[in-house]
Amino acid sequence: MRAKYSHQGKLFKDKRQFARRKTSKSQTPARMKPEIAPALKSVLAGIGRPVAAPFVPDDFQLRALEQIKKNDCLVIAPTGSGKTWIAREAIVSTIEKGGRAWYASPLKALSNSKWLEFGLHFDAQNVGIITGDTKENTEAPIIVGTTEILRNQLYDAMHQGLDLNFDLVILDEAHFLGDPDRGVVWEEIMIYLPARVNLLLLSATIGNGEEIAGWLESIRGKKCAVIREEKRPVPLYPLFLHPSGCIFPFLEGEGKRVTPAVVEFLKDNKSTRRAGRSMPDYAGIIRVLEGFNLLPAIFFLKSRAECDTALNCRKSLTPLNNHEKLNNDLAEMLYRFPYLEKHRQLKALKSAGIAAHHGGQLPAWKLLVEEMMSRGNLRVIFATSTIAAGVNFPARTIVLFNSDLFNGHDFSPLTATEFRQMTGRAGRRGQDKIGFMLTVAGKFMDLAHIKRMLFSAPEDIESRIKNDFAMVLNLLLSQTPDDVKKIFDKSFAAYQQDRRKDASASASKLWHDFLRHLRFLRQEGFVDDSGRLTEDGHWATRLRLDYPLLVAQCLRENIFPQDDEKMLAAIVAVFAYDRDDEINIVIKDMPPRLHSSLRKINLALKPLIQRLRTAGFATAKFYPSPGVAMHFWAQGRAWDEVVKLTGIAEGDMATLVLRTADNLRQIASLKDTHPVIAACAQKARELILREPVLFL
């Protein structure tokens, strides 16, 4: 976008004046008299903080709290409407009766955040945390952790014939039930959870809540109340930014049709092409927003690289007014995370109050950015869409530059669920009377699609249950194959197929796929002819990772290094890496012993991988470069040096360390059957879990 922006962010009354603005070459934006479109004048005048008032729960919150005391409950309400209040009060009610509560979230970062939040609210001694990286106060009456850990605890409870020692389970971000990769974990929890334990589901974006509740009632034998709240706590007002720098209302006529400015732009294909030729003028947009008191804002951008590049706009921004408060708050955060004092993006945050937030950054940096935004110290965060899920720091305005989203494979139009997650960040409860969504014209912005999303309900959730070897092994700990068939009959997939008059199709498909896994496990000696786990099968159940059979085979053949924790960390990293090869290391830089070990493992696993392929199972491609990166880190090299040598993004390297540590933790759990390698794995884990990766 090459257009110049007025520092005052001028708005124009109608199309005629807008046309004069486009054609007049004698007037510059700085000389023009600022005017505001009548439709926006009253809206912008309404910006400000609502009058402080004592907290009074909304009706939907009280209804949900009443239901969860005696039943299951699914709460579907907009972001920021107070779902966490319901969770906290439900926990209080449970604790007062001498019970225990489990709060599960999809993200480790969100679990860490809730652990800290609940520790302040309930006192730290009453709150514990269990994730792949952290275990603290595990006998506390309140446990916070990831859904995968809760699912694993249910596996263990079923195996030991014990009842889960909790009275309330809260599943936050319950729409993850429909996640293609991880939804199976949510579904397993709902199937395995004892009916005695009340289940509270929280989400902002579920279309078919009644269907999910009906399924839960059918398998748990108790009521599941659905509490819906459609009203946003802070109303959303959509705006449109034309390439000229003019802001218009996006909708008119009681919000049912787009305004003439949008219509005119849609007709002018040349404008669309022109808008997409160059990088947006981020500094200009910030000045426009600042001129009309529309900050702070979250700018949603396409990629990590765009977020980082956008920070260059700091040179065109005026210094912050709240410098003293920012510096004081920043000093407090840097005291907690001293490593970040050298962060390359700290200058943009300090000088201009802008920051980037995405998966390529250190967890500690993202936490610092979130905290600085929550304390009102930032103008703008440049973020990828991942910020929309789980992270709780809304803004006055969210800015959309694209109407599509990268889904991990390619770009596809925003779904209604994704759109609601993003726009849910607009408007801060207790701080804003109005939240704004600003759509920016550009090459990847389909304004017609945005209009559709404004009036679209969240999509229905489909079952994502599927078999994998870790799931099959763990079910066989406590279930016979016939029992497993009954479990599949209780799946959400079977329930949905039944409602669609195809009663047995989904459960039958799951069952036949289970039998395929079972046959392979029997062939490999993990299951006997009667469908029971062998000795190898029993210890392999503890390998709850992506490739349990491959890791188990390495343990069987005793080919993992047992006397070198650095080398073991490097080798396990190869199994833990879950991305395409994005690490810039050439083979000649690989330590000879690591090269030899990986070659030995490759030769040992080749027959098993071939048997897996012959049986129709997908096998991942393994890259040696994550092993080299982890070997550098395990040697004790400085973090900056490792990142520079490998070319990997800091966030991706941190994720690799954490995933490797989690894999090592599971190998370390085999101390009764593989004591030597288990001890080496524990040492390797302790070696790699250090700052700046581990910071809590």
- Give the mean pLDDT of 665-681: 97
Domain span holding position 102? 59-228
Residue 543 clears pLDDT 50, i.e. is over it: yes
DSSP state of 593: H
Do 400 and 312 have their domain in common? Answer: yes
- Are β-strands 435-440 and 236-241 bridged in parallel, bridged antiparallel, or unpaired? parallel
pLDDT digits (tens, 9 = 90+) for 297-309: 999 999 999 999 9
Confidence bin at 133 (pLDDT 50/70/90)? confident
Confidence bin at 35 (pLDDT 50/70/90)? very low
On whether the CB atoms of residues 144 and 127 are closer than 8 A, the answer is: yes
Pick the closest to residue 540 from 25, 53, 155 (CA basis): 155
pLDDT digits (tens, 9 = 90+) for 323-338: 889 999 999 999 989 9
Do 32 and 65 have their domain in common? Answer: no
What CATH number should be reported for the domain holding residue 145? 3.40.50.300
DSSP-assigned letters across all residues of 145-204: EEHHHHHHHHHHHHHHT---S-SEEEESSGGGGG-TTTHHHHHHHHHHS-TTSEEEEEES
On whether the CB atoms of residues 191 and 486 are closer than 8 A, the answer is: no
- 440 is a domain residue: yes
Confidence bin at 621 (pLDDT 50/70/90)? confident
- Are β-strands 101-105 and 142-146 bridged in parallel, bridged antiparallel, or unpaired? parallel
Q: pLDDT at position 9, please?
A: 36
- 1 is a domain residue: no
Do 363 and 253 have their domain in common? Answer: yes
Which domain-ending residue is among 228, 251, 273? 228
Do 254 and 375 have their domain in common? Answer: yes
- 693 is a domain residue: no
Q: pLDDT at position 459, please?
A: 93
Query: 227 or 384: which carries more pLDDT confidence?
Result: 227
Pick the closest to residue 154 from 130, 133, 122 (CA basis): 130
Q: pLDDT at position 253, please?
A: 72
Which domain-ending residue is among 228, 253, 283? 228
pLDDT digits (tens, 9 = 90+) for 81-107: 999 999 999 999 999 999 999 999 998
Rounded to the nearest angstrom, the gap between the alpha carbon of residue 166 and the centroid of all alpha carbons in its chain is: 26
pLDDT digits (tens, 9 = 90+) for 361-406: 998 999 899 899 989 999 999 998 866 555 667 899 999 999 998 7
- Are β-strands 72-76 and 198-203 bridged in parallel, bridged antiparallel, or unpaired? parallel
- 209 is a domain residue: yes
Confidence bin at 119 (pLDDT 50/70/90)? very high
- 9 is a domain residue: no
What is the share, in percent, of the chain residues with pLDDT greater than 90?
Answer: 69
- 54 is a domain residue: no
Q: pLDDT at position 22, please?
A: 44
- 386 is a domain residue: yes
User: Helical H runs in 311-362?
Assistant: 323-336, 346-352
pLDDT digits (tens, 9 = 90+) for 587-606: 667 889 999 999 999 999 99
Do 667 and 544 have their domain in common? Answer: yes
Do 580 and 628 have their domain in common? Answer: yes
pLDDT digits (tens, 9 = 90+) for 8-28: 333 333 443 444 444 333 322
pLDDT digits (tens, 9 = 90+) for 553-568: 999 999 999 999 999 9
- 564 is a domain residue: yes
Residue 28: exposed, middle, or buried by beta-carbon count in 10 A (0-12, 13-18, 19+)? exposed
pLDDT digits (tens, 9 = 90+) for 490-506: 999 999 998 887 655 67
Residue 265 clears pLDDT 50, i.e. is over it: yes
What CATH number should be reported for the domain holding residue 580? 1.10.3380.30
Do 286 and 204 have their domain in common? Answer: no
Q: What is the mean pLDDT of the chain?
A: 88
Do 394 and 274 have their domain in common? Answer: yes
Do 239 and 224 have their domain in common? Answer: no
Residue 7 clears pLDDT 70, i.e. is over it: no
Q: How far apart are CA 392 and CA 84, in angstroms?
A: 11
On whether the CB atoms of residues 170 and 208 are closer than 8 A, the answer is: no
DSSP state of 315: G
Q: pLDDT at position 585, please?
A: 72
Which domain-ending residue is among 178, 197, 228? 228
Q: What is the dihedral of CA 448, 450, 456, 460, to 10 degrees?
A: 110
Buried b (16+ CB within 10 A) or exposed e, 585-597: beeeebbeebeeb
Token output for 169: 């389970």
Place of tokens 């275990």: 135
Do 139 and 269 have their domain in common? Answer: no
Q: pLDDT at position 389, please?
A: 58
pLDDT digits (tens, 9 = 90+) for 150-162: 999 999 999 999 9
Q: How far apart are CA 540 and CA 338, in angstroms?
A: 40
Confidence bin at 529 (pLDDT 50/70/90)? very high
Q: pLDDT at position 169, please?
A: 98
Q: pLDDT at position 4, please?
A: 31
Please give the sequence-ordered ranges of beta strands (E in DSSP) within 187-320, or none if there are none.
198-203, 224-228, 236-241, 247-249, 251-252, 257-258, 297-300
Residue 42 clears pLDDT 80, i.e. is over it: yes
| Number of domains, the chain | 3
Confidence bin at 614 (pLDDT 50/70/90)? very high
Do 269 and 309 have their domain in common? Answer: yes
Do 480 and 447 have their domain in common? Answer: no
